[in-house]
Chain A
Amino acid sequence: MKKAKFAIAAVGLIAFSGIAAPAQAATLQDVQAAGVLRCGINTGLAGFAFTDDAGNWIGFDAAYCKALAAAVLGDPSKVAYVNLSGANRFPALASGEIDVLSRNTTWTFSRDVDLGFTFVGVSYYDGQGFIARKSLGISSVVELNGASICIQTGTTTELNLADYFRSNGISYEPVPIEDNEEARVAYVAGRCDAYTADASALAATKTTLEDPDAHMVFPQIISKEPLGPLVRQGDDQWADIARWTLNVLKNAEEYGVTRGNVAALARGTNNPEINRMLGSEGSLGAMLGLNADWAVKVIAAVGNYGEIFEEFLGPNTPLELQRGVNALYKDGGLQYAPPMR
């Protein structure tokens, strides 16, 4: 219902919005004129987008919204969070209701090319996994032959699931559910034997179950799910800003720039890479149409990539996720940002 209403609203928006269509306008000027960044995030997913005790949205995905707001507006608090389900996130971005989508969204060919979006990078390398009760006594996904499996509709998960079971010649009953919370309820009630989603989301969901130890996330990963923020296609300046904000977070970790030392380092160091990034040398900020200290604001607001990961996903959080492939390339991971030059 939510989905249908939303889609109709989105179509209505496209039909009625003025000649100054959202994509055509320079998003940077719009955001700065509005004084607020409209950022699409999950409706609630532990670690990625959730509320703290005071009701503020925080998390791995929300931190990117704050970073971008700090870069563009100089203030990480100037974010209007728009909570979106898997199905309504794309209409929201296409119709201009949000400026950027940071909602554990998989970068795929058709989304990048056919839907008319631009993915600005990978913030989290994920893969599709399964969670099931240990009492079922199975250890592999292939043993789920004939099982009922809960999925979130409108996700790549739904497609991977169909592909995987078809290619392995096994059958299943799909139980399509609108969002993560409802899927959890259906799984707990035993409507489905297993629940499939991105492994990170499963780790998040597992922490919210009554007896987390009675459930297991299967070691098998059946797909590549590179998650990252995305913007509308056609506004290259805005896409550049979004891309390099993400790169700043990763480069900052590589160069050892942290939330704690960024103010000191911004005054100048003997490392020209750091100086160029933080604006004491060169004019990278101006090239993006931003202030020279844009990257300083970003790091001061949310910390570097490693700090964000530790704060919301790492071993000291309920999710207990390891860096794994999300470690920097020099630590054996895949996270690698182009140089700031």
Chain B
Amino acid sequence: MTGKPRHGPSLGRLWTDERVRGAIFQFLTVLGLIAFVWFLVANTSDNMAQIGMKAGFGFLGDQAFFDINQKLIDYTSTDTYGRALMVGLLNTLLVSVLGIVAATLLGFLMGVLRLSHNWLVARLATVYVETIRNIPLLLQVVFWWTLLTELPRVQESKSIAGLVFLNNRGVRMPAPVMEPGMGIVVVAFLAGIVAAFFVTRWATRRRMETGQPFPSIWVNLGLVVGAPVALFLLLGQPLHWDVPVLGTFNFSGGFRVTPELVALWWALTVYTGAFIAETVRGGILAVSKGQTEAAQALGLSRGATMRKIVLPQALRVIVPPLTSQYLNLTKNSSLAVAIGYQDLVSVGGTILNQSGHSIEIVGIWLAVYLSLSVGTSAFMNWYNHRVRLVER
């Protein structure tokens, strides 16, 4: 930055002023960007008009007339495109949430194991990470799905105690069917968990203050398990199990997990888990060795050192890259199309094809994945803020 212009402002002087020049460039860039976006929108609507395509989201109210095999909410082929998309979105969320939970557990375990002092364990973890990270995810999804279709056929299902059945159309297990009165038991159970939380907090504070122990484990067990079980028996066991029965083609009744869901979930878990393992290993290595040595000098066991000293500090390093892994997993779930798991992209693709509203469907895809990603990021940023080093 130089001094102020000595004479009145002129064009040449303005140009030599770094600040003004910067502002002009920024202004021009924004202008260019707006012009570009405007061109895209105008050109798209022009071209769409010319080939007779009608834009608008009204078609979402039309009847879909196709079926979806896995639905978390009620849906039949006479429902609307909009509802079909909702079913697809829920399927995306289901596999993403299941994948994120499992990949986190697997990733942390493998990351820690890779630093194990046990040669075999550490090498096995290394082989896992290096193999999985270097194979395209699509191949892994198809691989696991193909493997699952090699399971026994329906008629030759593997059965566990005549209750759980495993075949190449997935796993079928007894489903609980609630009768009137079961709701009270569930409420009692949830209330028990809440009460147990407060009891524990109160007991901890009292112990801190007075040093008197309180048998909170037994009290909590009574609250969470004892009370609901007593209520359950008192109400005459208002619950029965819907056991799967083999029909001509398939089992009916019970609760079913499709091989498509399992294959996609497992592939996403294993793949993302390998990346998380590396992130975790990096985070742990970032914690200064002095911390470990100090903990050991205090007599903490290796496990306790990891749990109470190293991991909490490593978390601050781990969380930001972990966020991108979660985002990746959610976005990668769209590979569901390859194996016929009906997620948002799969259902949207069918609608796109049946209705021809490609611009709108692609727009919905973009908007949904963007919101999911922004939502995940916001949550992880909040969490990152929480676990950050509190400076005193």
Q: CB within 8 Å of B: which residues of A?
A: 1-4, 7-8, 10-11, 14-17, 19, 21-24, 86-87, 90-91, 94, 110-111, 114-116, 136, 143-148, 153-154, 158-159, 161-163, 166, 172-178, 186, 189-191, 193, 232-234
Q: A176-B69, A178-B338, A190-B149 are in contact. List 4 more A-B contacts (CB 8 A).
A: A7-B362, A90-B356, A91-B358, A191-B259
A232 to B247, CA, bound (A): 48
The digit string for B247-289, where 1 denotes a CB below 8 A from any CB of A, is 1111010000001000000000000000000000000000000
The answer to whether A4 and B168 have CB atoms under 8 Å apart is no
A80 to B250, CA, bound (A): 45
Contacts of A153 in B (CB 8 A): 340, 346, 349-350, 353
The answer to whether A22 and B51 have CB atoms under 8 Å apart is yes
Task: Looking at the assembled complex, report how far the CB atom of B78 sits from the nearest CB atom of chain A, in whole angstroms.
Answer: 7
The digit string for B45-69, where 1 denotes a CB below 8 A from any CB of A, is 0111011110000000000011111
The answer to whether A191 and B51 have CB atoms under 8 Å apart is no
Q: Is B361 interfacial (CB 8 A cutoff)?
A: yes
Contacts of A159 in B (CB 8 A): 65-66, 354
CB < 8 Å: which of A1, A16, A86, A116 contacts B138?
A: A1
The answer to whether B43 and A1 have CB atoms under 8 Å apart is no
Contacts of B250 in A (CB 8 A): 146-148, 173, 193
Q: Is B89 interfacial (CB 8 A cutoff)?
A: no
The answer to whether B149 and A186 have CB atoms under 8 Å apart is yes
CB < 8 Å: which of A14, A146, A190 contacts B48?
A: A14
Contacts of A234 in B (CB 8 A): 50-52
The answer to whether B51 and A7 have CB atoms under 8 Å apart is no
A146 to B248, CA, bound (A): 8
Known: A16-B40, A148-B169, A154-B353. A10 touches B51 (CB 8 A): no
CB < 8 Å: which of A8, A21, A173, A232 contacts B46?
A: A21
The answer to whether A146 and B252 have CB atoms under 8 Å apart is yes
The digit string for B101-128, where 1 denotes a CB below 8 A from any CB of A, is 0000000000000000000000000000
The answer to whether B340 and A163 have CB atoms under 8 Å apart is no
Contacts of B354 in A (CB 8 A): 110, 154, 158-159
The answer to whether B169 and A1 have CB atoms under 8 Å apart is no
Q: Is B132 interfacial (CB 8 A cutoff)?
A: no
The answer to whether B50 and A162 have CB atoms under 8 Å apart is no
Contacts of B17 in A (CB 8 A): none
Q: CB within 8 Å of A: which residues of B?
A: 40, 43-44, 46-48, 50-53, 65-69, 76-78, 138, 146, 149-150, 153-154, 168-169, 247-250, 252, 259, 334-335, 337-338, 340, 342, 345-346, 349-350, 352-356, 358-359, 361-362, 365
A57 to B47, CA, bound (A): 32
The answer to whether B40 and A116 have CB atoms under 8 Å apart is no
A234 to B49, CA, bound (A): 11
Q: Give 30 CB contacts A-B under 8 Å.
A: A1-B138, A1-B337, A3-B337, A7-B349, A11-B359, A14-B47, A14-B51, A14-B358, A15-B43, A17-B47, A23-B50, A94-B51, A115-B356, A116-B51, A145-B248, A146-B250, A148-B169, A153-B350, A158-B354, A162-B77, A163-B77, A166-B76, A166-B77, A178-B338, A178-B340, A189-B150, A191-B259, A193-B249, A232-B51, A233-B51
The answer to whether A176 and B248 have CB atoms under 8 Å apart is no
Contacts of A162 in B (CB 8 A): 65-67, 77
Contacts of B249 in A (CB 8 A): 136, 144-148, 193
Task: Looking at the assembled complex, report how far the CB atom of A62 sits from the nearest CB atom of chain B, in whole angstroms.
Answer: 23
A154 to B248, CA, bound (A): 29
Task: Looking at the assembled complex, report how far the CB atom of A147 sits from the nearest CB atom of chain B, in whole angstroms.
Answer: 4
Task: Looking at the assembled complex, report how far the CB atom of B339 sits from the nearest CB atom of chain A, in whole angstroms.
Answer: 9
Contacts of A176 in B (CB 8 A): 69, 340, 342, 346, 350
Known: A159-B66, A173-B250. A4 touches B53 (CB 8 A): no
Residue of B at shortest CB range from A172?
Answer: B67
A101 to B187, CA, bound (A): 60
Residue of B at shortest CB range from A173?
Answer: B69
Contacts of B47 in A (CB 8 A): 14-15, 17, 21
The answer to whether A1 and B48 have CB atoms under 8 Å apart is no
Known: A7-B361, A87-B349, A148-B249. A175 touches B356 (CB 8 A): no
Contacts of B138 in A (CB 8 A): 1
A10 to B169, CA, bound (A): 35
A37 to B67, CA, bound (A): 37
Task: Looking at the assembled complex, report how far the CB atom of A95 sits from the nearest CB atom of chain B, in whole angstroms.
Answer: 8
The answer to whether A174 and B52 have CB atoms under 8 Å apart is no
Contacts of A154 in B (CB 8 A): 349-350, 353-354
A44 to B138, CA, bound (A): 22
A158 to B342, CA, bound (A): 14
The answer to whether B53 and A189 have CB atoms under 8 Å apart is no
